[in-house]
Structure 1
């Protein structure tokens, strides 16, 4: 069972343990994502991967299912049951691996694709580390970013749906905007570690951070890919 003690009201030892567990789970989630993605790319037929992004309504359906399933996974990860928490996190990792599969496949098959993916991963890690440092060392309250993230999220979903239906490319500046939105999400989610979660909610906290990291990685990778196309 989770303890009801807020991290903000816990001892320094409990805070340190919560942060350590949270970031350990983030790191393990990234490693698990890499493992699941590798297995999927080796086992899923190319025709299935092509079908995922080759038909606009199929991709919209995938995005819709991902959005609904991710909300469910997030709810599970904050359950009172530790088993349910881990099930939610594991389920979300698989969801991310599935939705990333077409783009990773395309990137890997571009000229210098391995380097593109590596560069995107390194840039993502560097930005995450920098933003986390800002959130932890700054005395500023980043809770004001919540409304910006919510509004930006709905706007981005609307643009993605419109782009898929009407067949227009959202372009470089949309990806840049999404990188900024993902960066804001990392700042917000990191500040939540200190103010919102209890000491027993490190699995749920790690899922939210992992989700923000993957969003950042997605659009950094898109930007790097667009430079090679």
Structure 2
């Protein structure tokens, strides 16, 4: 959701072409920087030897994974609030950095598993390519149609609670999330990115590029997360 400070900046939809282009450029530069920072942090965690203990911690018991998940959700909420802060740019960057770091920590075991245990060694590059193509297609659609997809908000909210409920049930009752769930979540992540991109175009102010980049990064990260799991499950069933 966009958090607007009506006393600063101009709505992107009402801005001049120059202002709008500058906002979009800054947003995607920050998105690119966040992706690079995420890749660097994940690589550092793996090469430092921290990935295996993290995996063991998260797989140790259902309670350890629930605690990690709860901490990530709390960090995400705080990061989003900071990144949309009207107080200072430093607070906004702190929010973006916090989310990137939190996502790197929670996803490192998945990346480590894909590198070391996936039947197909090309899972990660394939997932990265598919994420790039899907994200690019969604971005192209949002910018070419110029349609406001804010109507997706209630569906995304309900879908988020349903997905969280299924994940919690799988942890508590020990059943495995399969290809169908991962496929649905990839589509869901695409809808989230379409919504976030639409918000960036229609609802954000021209000085909210940090918050906009966090929204895009979170949706791209969610998409990548489930594409990796989808491909691992797919190749594991061959």
Tell me, yes or no, if the aligned pair for 1:53 and 1:102 is still in contact at 8 Å: no
Q: How does 1:1-229 map to 2 (within 5 A)?
A: 3-43=8-48, 44=50, 46-80=52-86, 81-110=88-117, 114-229=121-236
TM-score between both structures, scaled by the size of structure 2: 0.92
Question: Distance in 1 between the 2:210 and 2:75 partners?
Answer: 17
TM-score of the two chains, using structure 1 as the length reference: 0.96
Larger helix fraction of residues? 1
The CA distance in 2 between the partners of 1:29 and 1:100, in whole Å, is 15
Distance in 2 (CA, whole Å) between partners of 1:39 and 1:197 is 34
Range that drifts further, 15-24 or 112-121: 112-121
Contact 1:145 1:188 in 2 (8 A): yes
Moved over 2 A (4+): 1-4, 45-49, 110-114
CA distance in 2, matches of 1:128, 1:45: 27
Cα distance in 2, alignment partners of residues 214 and 8 from structure 1? 26
Gaps of 5+ in 1: none
Q: Is the 8 A contact 1:142 1:191 kept in 2?
A: yes
Cα deviation for residue 49 of structure 1 reads 2.5
Instruction: Give how far 1:195 is off.
Output: 1.3
